[in-house]
Chains A and B, each alone.
Chain A
Amino acid sequence: MIWRRLLAALPSVAGIIVVTFVLTRALPGDPAAYFAGPAASREAVEEIRAKLGLDRSLSEQFLLYLGDLARGDLGTSLTTGQPVLSDLEVRLPASLELTMAALAFAIAVALPLGILAARHPGSWIDHLTRLIITAGVSLPVFFTGLILVYIFYYLLGWVPAPLGRLDAFSAPPPPVTRFFLIDSLLAGDIALFRAALAQLALPALTLGLFALAPIARMTRASMLGILSSDFIRTARTAGLAPRTVLVTYALRNALLPVVTLLGMVFSFLLGANVVVEKVFAWPGIGSYALEALIASNYAPVQGFVLMMALLYVGLNLLIDILYSLIDARMRIEA
């Protein structure tokens, strides 16, 4: 089943390669003029265009690009001066660590909130949930981020400076997974783990607040539907413990749409990262791609989109597997 799904993803990946290639070329900027420097004459710009290979025809450029891709070469970023692949290698874990921490926080808060709200509709906890949902949806991420920095860093001084993954004096742990929280524990460096966690807390909270709303709302709605269904009524009348009814029967069935949503929220967060990354100087892929886009720097943009596409394919696969674990019917159909 896994192989079939992976094969089915191939055409969409191919399509993405073509579309990003064409779209980046359609951007209004002129990379040659940008990189020729402040004093460049028109001839100098043309010289640089030739150096970058941008004077060739589009189809020729595309074939060259495909050749490079086949060799695993994503090109070189002109804004960082590094190969795109090594840039992504360093930056993707930063984004993933942030996103996963944010998602973990969001799930930890949203699931209980949603369940309790559904269990006691109209109660204070239901209203609280509604308030949090509304706030989470309506407050822009950059605003929450700046406010949190202002309160917890500037006024209270509880969290370290918003300087990215580590403060200026700590060196990153030896890279194994490139997740600083995991690597620092692997290296047995508790102080570093704390430092990394302290840096991560505020950005993860910012992003998590944003992700919390849809998850809580979906959990509540889905639980409400299930709790009023026949089999729950049967279970209750059969005298099963309320906890068993709620967790084993209701929650398990209510989780299906939530898991689907989680997949969407996760991929969405990876994109929404860019604002949080800017506010917290977080060296992730979102700000990387954005800067490249602004400079009409083709290679990193293409590399970024391609990587995201592959990531989504993997994520969808993962969600399908989760589905079959939660819902036995899926296994039978497959």
Chain B
Amino acid sequence: MKNLKGLLAAVALVLVTAPTATAQSRNETLIVVVESGPNTMDIHGLGANRPSYQASWNIYDRLLTYGVKSLPDGTRSYDHSSLKPELAESWELAPDGMSVTFKLRRDAKFHDDTPVTAKDVKWSLDRAVSIGGFPTFQMKAGSLEKREQFEVVDDYTFRVNFIRKDKLTLPDLAVPVAIVINSTLAKKQATADDPWAAEWLKRNEAGSGAYRLEAWKPGEQTIYVRNDQWKSGPLPKIRRVIVREVPSAGNRRALLERGDADLSLDLLPKDVSEIERAGKLNVVSSPIENAHVYLGMNVKTPPFDNVKVRRAIAFAIPYEQILVTAVHGRGTMLYGNPIASNTFGYDSRLVPFRADRLRAKQLLVEAGYPNGFSTTFSFDEGQATVNEPMALLVQEALGIIGIKTTIEKIPGANWRAALLKKNMPLYINVFGGWLNYPEYLFFWNFHGQNAVFNTMSYKNPTMDRIIEAARFEQDPKKYAEYVRALVLLSVSDVPRVPIYQPLLDVTMQKNIKGYQYWFHRYLDYRQLEKSDASSVAQNQKS
């Protein structure tokens, strides 16, 4: 028993004296806590998850990037209307508008000191359009489809030939998948079975970006260190970034409040609004561009093939209650309008639907369902903190007009498979587009090509025609008319009811400055700054 006491005392002593002997390195290091980390360093790789976008974004450079703009609320965002040089110093459209020629910067080097040349750019873009899966799909969105489009003119001149005039081609060269890989290094690791060195690039990086990968323990942490040779922009301020995986949302919040972490991108909406009220940490909330959370209906299966039923449901949704109770105010209400508040074509006066029980009931009677009907109502359990209260509110409201719903929670990992089957009659889902153009949203979500995002299996030839016209329209006035027509048509057919536009909440210590919103919604370490840690110390004491 005496030994035990001694042991306990020793343990207690160690516990009390152990913490932080490392204040020095803290000033130069950014500690980010996330729910889960990357599963690959290769954004082109099979099954690359979302956190891998962040890794790829900071480790690799692209030909182009986007400029910055300040928003009215004082926060900063990338500017989707201005393209800026990254690995390309300058670029020029051909007189016939059917190709673009890039001059590459001559001082750019990969992390192993090999210069970045046009053949690396070609190999990388060839890889993106031919490796299959998500990168190939994303490149297609900018009419980048064939290897023959990419042409090496000389070591520092590179050309992209267009297969059609598409205003998304250049913007698409600045998205996370359009990385430039060190082809000399990667080719050494390629085999006959694996010509794109996918196996090797999964675990290793071959980039030229502002940060190198210092250490990566999947499921635990990723450490980045600044590339001091980086020439594609001003040298970043943060020397080292540690991204630590903390699965428990409550602990992520505790770590921030105690000052042991600097920043988190994924706290729960409820925690964020409490933190905002307490005022000890900074919260930057950006409306996610071209995104909406919606109630989808499968238009192929009765009774949702009847537009009156769909309209009845749109009038039954308790919009305000959802915003207050389920989302804790962290969103912008859309009331059925598919265009988000910071996308071209948004009109705050357009409120297609409001909660109106009588109107909903009347529409249901007109549709031939005076006594309502029963159906299943599905949502992604992986997003249950928001989805569950929202589903309950909708279920209750639908119950009042006679529509009985059985809620079906689908585990996060199976959600995509369930969407692909396109057989859920009624469900909550979210869409967010990288490229902030309304027709981009319509093309993926409402076009009769029936992409996976058209979860409703909606098909209307008029819709398809206007989308095609809007995509390639050069005249701004006509383009605006097309967009308006798209919105009105989607509201009158109402295959889905966009409910609100979500916010991206980033919580950080007060001494972290320079955060900038990106369309891919992940952190760009290059813009961040950390002033000395005294304010953090104060936080810890209080």
Contacts and interface: CB of A to CB of B under 8 A. Distances in A.
Partners in one complex: yes
A38 to B, nearest CB: 7
B413 A295 contact: yes
Contacts of B520: none
Interface in A156-194: 157-164, 167-169, 191, 194
Contacts of A160: 18-19, 260
Most chain A C-beta atoms within 10 Å of own C-beta, residue among B49, B202, B242: B49
A78 B246 contact: no
A296 B413 contact: yes
A40 to B, nearest CB: 6
A149 B133 contact: no
Given A80-B39, A146-B250, A283-B219, A29 B48 contact: no
A126 to B, nearest CB: 17
Classify chain B's interface size. 35 or more
A98 to B, nearest CB: 14
B137 A29 contact: no
Interface stretch (A43-51, A59-67, A130-138): A43-51
A34 B258 contact: no
Interface in B12-32: 14-22, 25-26, 29, 31
B246 A162 contact: yes
Contact of A163 (B203, B246, B413, B452): B246
A149 B420 contact: no
B46 A51 contact: yes
A159 B17 CA distance: 9
A197 B218 contact: no
B114 interface: no
A334 B51 CA distance: 57
B416 A33 contact: yes
Contacts of B451: 39, 41
A30 B414 contact: yes
A321 interface: no
Interface stretch (A206-214, A258-266, A286-294, A309-317): A286-294
A206 to B, nearest CB: 13
A150 interface: yes
B254 A195 contact: no
B48 to A, nearest CB: 7
Contacts of A287: 219, 247
Interface centre among A150, A169, A287, A295 (most CB of B within 10 A): A169
Interface in B223-262: 242, 244-248, 250-251, 254-255, 257-258, 260-261
Nearest to B453: A39
Given A29-B411, A162-B246, A194-B17, A36 B260 contact: no
A34 B416 contact: yes
B413 A153 contact: no
Given A197-B14, A281-B247, A81 B255 contact: no
B245 A201 contact: no
> Quick one: which of A153, A163, A278 has the most chain B CB within 10 A?
A163
A28 B40 CA distance: 25
Contacts of B4: 108, 112
Contact of A278 (B138, B247, B444): B247
A4 interface: no
A33 B417 contact: yes
Contacts of B1: 112
A59 B219 CA distance: 32
A283 B258 contact: no
A243 interface: no
A81 B417 contact: no
Interface string B209-226: 000000001111100000
> Size range of the interface on A?
35 or more
A125 interface: no
A149 B219 contact: no
A154 B255 CA distance: 8
Given A157-B258, A281-B248, A197 B11 contact: yes
Interface in B117-137: 132-134, 137
A196 to B, nearest CB: 9
Interface in B445-504: 451-453
Contacts of A112: 1, 4
A79 interface: yes
B47 interface: yes
A278 B40 CA distance: 22
Contacts of A90: 217
A294 B416 CA distance: 13
Nearest to A33: B417
B412 interface: yes
A37 B15 contact: no
Nearest to B47: A35
30 contacts: A29-B417, A34-B414, A34-B417, A35-B47, A41-B452, A42-B420, A42-B452, A44-B133, A45-B420, A47-B133, A79-B219, A80-B219, A81-B40, A81-B203, A108-B7, A112-B1, A112-B4, A146-B248, A149-B254, A157-B540, A160-B260, A161-B258, A162-B251, A164-B244, A168-B242, A198-B18, A279-B251, A281-B245, A287-B219, A294-B411
Interface of B: 1, 4, 7, 11, 14-22, 25-26, 29, 31, 39-40, 45-49, 132-134, 137-138, 202-203, 217-221, 242, 244-248, 250-251, 254-255, 257-258, 260-261, 411-414, 416-417, 420, 444, 451-453, 540
Given A45-B420, A278-B247, 4 more contacts: A163-B244, A279-B248, A283-B217, A294-B412
The 8 closest A-B pairs by CB, nearest first: A35-B47, A80-B218, A37-B134, A33-B417, A30-B417, A198-B18, A161-B260, A169-B22
